[in-house]
Amino acid sequence: MFSGRSVLAVIPARGGSKGVPLKNIRPLYGRPLLGHIAPVLKALTCIDRAVVSTDDSRIADVAQEFGLEVPFYRPHDLSGDSIGDVPVLQHAVSETERLEARRYDVIVMLQPTCPLRTPDHVRRVIATLIEGNWDAAWTISRCDPKYHPMKQLRLCDSTLGYYDPAGAHVTARQQLEQLYFRNGAAYALTRQCLMEQGTLLSPRTTGVLIEERLVNIDTVEDFQTAEAVLRHRLGRKPGPQQ
């Protein structure tokens, strides 16, 4: 509970990743990627229940090895590449509430692909949502000015030009508005936002800025980067501790 609100964490972990097969259980610094969520959850007393949503028995087995609960399987029609987060979360909430005969006030999505998250990142996003009376709160990071949309290019019929013509007039990064990207550490939503509005990004969504470096894993190279960051931060030999 947090300020009298019940909190359900959902960990989406499908088995059909194309870029890196079975990405969610690929080893990272001595334990499967999914296993890095377990110590974070153990440190969070504000989360009442955490469930893994998966369609793959191999992922379910690994999750349970690390003390994560898999009370149901995700149906096949929610397991494809084109399925967004909203229906997956809605299914997980509906199934959990049906099995427990209760309702949750706040839903937190914790994707396995952000293994550098800390308990404080998750706690902050829940606190921001509830204390600010927002519909949703996302963790975000600052966008490097080098990748600002005003500086991006397009190649059309072999001709190179600015994606936004106004970019031609930008001569210094100080002219650019500070932008942000979602880093995947945590998303917190009210039940009403998810189940009734059917969105993660309502008009009443705020951001929680994370200054520490995070890696959102999509490729083998991302695994290597995250491994290097973990080695630097922890300064010890990796191991499969649970």
Nearest 5°: the CA angle 39, 215, 93 is 55
Structure tokens at 171: 């001569």
Q: List, for residues 141-152, the tens digit of each pLDDT value.
A: 999 999 999 999
Statement to judge: residues 100 and 206 lie in one domain: yes
pLDDT at 161 over 60: yes
Query: Of 101-110, 132-141, 170-179, 230-239, which range is least confident?
Result: 230-239
Q: Are residues 192 and 170 in the same domain?
A: no
Strand bridging mode 49-53 / 7-12 = parallel
Q: Does residue 105 share a domain with residue 148?
A: no
Note down the domain range covering 159: 144-177
Strand ranges for the chain from DSSP E = 7-12, 27-28, 31-32, 49-53, 106-109, 136-142, 153-156, 159-162, 180-190, 205-209
The structure tokens 């999509």 sit at: 218
Q: What is the mean pLDDT of residues 211-228?
A: 96
d(CA 189, CA 167): 35
Number of domains in the chain: 2
Same domain, 85 and 155: no
Is the pLDDT confidence value at 242 over 50?
A: no
Distance CA 83, CA 99 (A): 24
Tokens (6 digits) for 242: 């649970």
Query: Bridge-partner residues for 9, per DSSP?
Result: 50, 108
2 in a domain, yes or no? Answer: no
- The CATH number covering residue 197 comes to 3.90.550.10
Evaluate whether residue 234 is within a structural domain: no
Q: Which helix (H) or strand (E) holds 222?
A: helix 220-234
Q: Does 100 lie in the same domain as 168? A: no
- Residue 144 CB partners (closer than 8 Å, separation 6+): none
151, 53: one domain: no
Confidence at residue 236, expressed as pLDDT on a 0 to 100 scale: 61
Regarding whether 209 and 166 lie in a shared domain, the answer is no
pLDDT at residue number 222:
97
pLDDT for residue 112 is more than 60: yes
Q: What is the average per-residue pLDDT within 87-105?
A: 98
Residues counted in the chain = 242
Averaged pLDDT of the chain: 95
